Amino acid sequence: MADDPSNAELAHRIEAMRLDLKEDFRELAKRLDAKVSIERYELERRAADEVHRAVIERVAAIEAARLQEKRDAEVERRKAEDQRRADKRLVFSALIVPVLIVLLQVYLSSRGAGS
């Protein structure tokens, strides 16, 4: 019986275990409070997915607009090039051809006058 603890010692050990358990439960409660609920996690994940989709759509729209601008610029460049060609044909037909005709008439008249 000398090895058996006394009632006071047993009460002290039980009180120490109770305080130890109380501290463990307090620490566990703190950890649980720090965790995010599954509902909140799902809501935040959905919101992040929506933002991600919106960003992707916006980038796609910007890329489509840039591609359309490139196409429009190419069409404008071709129109300007066609206009330059038309202007060159107009200059040729309006200025150079009449000068050539006059020169041809002068040549023919000088050739005919000399015979």
Task: State the average pLDDT for the chain.
Answer: 89
Q: Read off the pLDDT of residues 25-59 as tens digits, 9 standing for 90 and up.
A: 999 888 887 777 888 889 999 999 999 999 999 99
Q: Identify the sign of the CA torsion 71, 73, 76, 78.
A: negative
Do 20 and 49 reside in the same domain of the chain?
no
Strongest mean pLDDT among 80-84, 93-97, 108-112: 80-84
pTM: 0.49
Distance separating alpha carbons of residues 2 and 18, to the nearest angstrom: 26
Residues 24 and 48 in one domain: no
% helix / strand / coil in the chain, to the nearest 5? 90, 0, 10
Residues 43 and 79 in one domain: yes
Write out the residue range of the structural domain in which residue 15 sits.
1-35
